[in-house]
Amino acid sequence: MPTHVQSQQEFFTMLVEEQRDIRITLASLERSGKPVELDQTTQGRVSRVDAISNQHMAKAGSTRLVIQLDRINAALEWYAAGRYGICCRCELEIPHGRLMADPATPFCLDCTEELAEVKQHERHHRLNTGR
C-alpha cells in the first residue's frame, strides 16, 4: 500500500487541474495560431510578418505544453495503475518534496540526474565526433 494516500490524492487533483489548464491554453493557442491569411488586399506586409511570428511563438509554446500534457497523462495512467509516486526506472518511492515540485515527474531525483548525465554524455560524444 502506498504510504501517502492523502497526499497522493492531492497530487492527483493537481495533475487533473494542470491537465485541464493546459487543454484550455492549447485550445486558445490553436484558435490564435490559425494558418496566416496571405491576403494582400486586407493586410500589409508588416502585419503579415507579425502574424507569422505570433504563429511561431504560439507553436513553440504549444510544443512545450504538449510535452507537459504527455507527462501528466502518463502520470495519471501511472496513478490509475496504483503506481503513482514510484520511480519508473528504479521503482523506489519518489520523495514527497520532489512530487510537490513536479507532480508529473516519472523519475526519482537520482534517476533524473543519471538520465540527464547520459544525455549530456551523448551530446558531448556527438560534439566530439560530429565533424
Q: How many Å apart are CA 28 and CA 36, to the nearest integer?
A: 16
Task: Single out the segment in contact with Zn ion by CB under 5 A; choices: 2-10, 21-29, 76-84, 110-118.
Answer: 110-118
Taking CB under 5 A as the criterion, the residue among 74, 90, 100, 118 binding Zn ion is 90
Q: Which three cell numbers mark 115?
A: 538520465
Q: How many Å apart are CA 90 and CA 30, to the nearest integer?
A: 38
Q: Name the phi and psi angles at 86, rounded to 5.
A: -110, 130
**Beta carbon nearer to Zn ion, 57 or 90:** 90
Q: How many Å apart are CA 40 and CA 26, to the nearest integer?
A: 29
Most distant CA pair in the chain, distance: 66
Q: With H, G, I as helix, E, B as strand and everything else as coil, classify residue 86.
A: strand
Residue 83 in contact with Zn ion, rule: CB under 5 A: no
Residue 99 in contact with Zn ion, rule: CB under 5 A: no
Task: Single out the segment in contact with Zn ion by CB under 5 A; choices: 14-22, 72-80, 101-109, 113-121.
Answer: 101-109
Residue 87 in contact with Zn ion, rule: CB under 5 A: yes
Task: Single out the segment in contact with Zn ion by CB under 5 A; choices: 9-17, 28-36, 105-113, 116-124.
Answer: 105-113
Q: Which residues bind Zn ion (CB under 5 A)?
A: 87, 89-90, 108, 111
